[in-house]
């Protein structure tokens, strides 16, 4: 970056290109990995069974592989999450995005939550990878988010992350929706996480202006499916 001016590559390297929708075929995943490679993003974020393929297709590039575990609801046992973590790292993931046990968070079972995050973080860091802990903020109150930030800071986790993109909440009229990475929650996370812990915004970051807005709040990584549109807009605007 020249001085303080944000360049196109700075925006690209904030992006984990998300390929997590349950209906994606292998052909669509291969296409998405190609897009991530072309755009030179930070990582491509894939489901566990796609990690090996992604690692092979991205070999020799500057685009990493990020795998989700316990996705999207975080309900697997700690042992299964740890085994899944070891598998995705063996298959080529350098980053792991783990969903916390949301019910345990809502039940204030902080001992369980701490032990789970520690077990996964220890597994990840022992292999030279990094962990992002997904809170699923739509389900939580501020107090839960603050406590999770404190735990992740104590355990020296690399990133805290807002959402999976699939944490839909039933609305009064019966439909399901989610807010995702709201400014309120991003500010809360940045304020209560140690400065060494980075913040990833996921869920609803769809435009260049969204990216610039969350970056100004202290976010250093985003999860996005609208990667090409974001970067094309950045080019048009002279980044």
Residues tagged active-site: 97, 161, 200
The residue whose two tokens read 């929706």 is 177
- Dihedral of CA atoms 154, 156, 162, 166 in degrees, nearest 10, equals -110
Neighbouring C-beta atoms of residue 27, cutoff 10 Å: 8
What is the rounded CA–CA span in Å between residue 33 and residue 5? 28
Neighbouring C-beta atoms of residue 9, cutoff 10 Å: 14
What is the rounded CA–CA span in Å between residue 196 and residue 178? 28
């Amino acid at each position: 970056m020249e001085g303080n001016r944000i360049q196109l590559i700075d925006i690209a390297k904030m992006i984990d290109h998300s390929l997590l929708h349950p209906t994606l075929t292998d052909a669509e995943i291969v296409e998405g990995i190609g897009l991530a490679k072309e755009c030179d993003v930070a990582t491509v974020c894939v489901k566990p069974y796609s990690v090996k393929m992604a690692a092979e297709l991205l070999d020799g590039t500057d685009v990493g592989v990020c795998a989700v575990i316990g996705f999207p609801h975080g309900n697997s046992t700690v042992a299964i999450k740890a085994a899944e973590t070891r598998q995705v790292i063996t298959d080529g993931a350098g980053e792991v995005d783990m969903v916390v046990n949301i019910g345990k968070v809502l039940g204030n079972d902080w001992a369980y939550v701490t032990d789970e995050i520690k077990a996964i973080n220890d597994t990840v860091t022992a292999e030279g990878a990094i962990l992002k802990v997904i809170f699923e903020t739509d389900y939580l109150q501020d107090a839960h988010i603050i406590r999770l930030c404190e735990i992740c800071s104590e355990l020296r986790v690399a990133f805290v992350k807002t959402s999976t993109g699939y944490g839909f909440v039933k609305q009064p009229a019966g439909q399901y929706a989610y807010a995702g990475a709201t400014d309120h929650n991003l500010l809360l996370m940045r304020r209560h996480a140690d400065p060494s812990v980075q913040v990833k915004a996921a869920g609803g970051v769809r435009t260049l202006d969204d990216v610039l807005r969350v970056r100004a709040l202290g976010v250093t990584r985003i999860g996005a499916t609208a990667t090409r549109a974001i970067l094309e807009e950045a080019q048009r605007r002279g980044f």
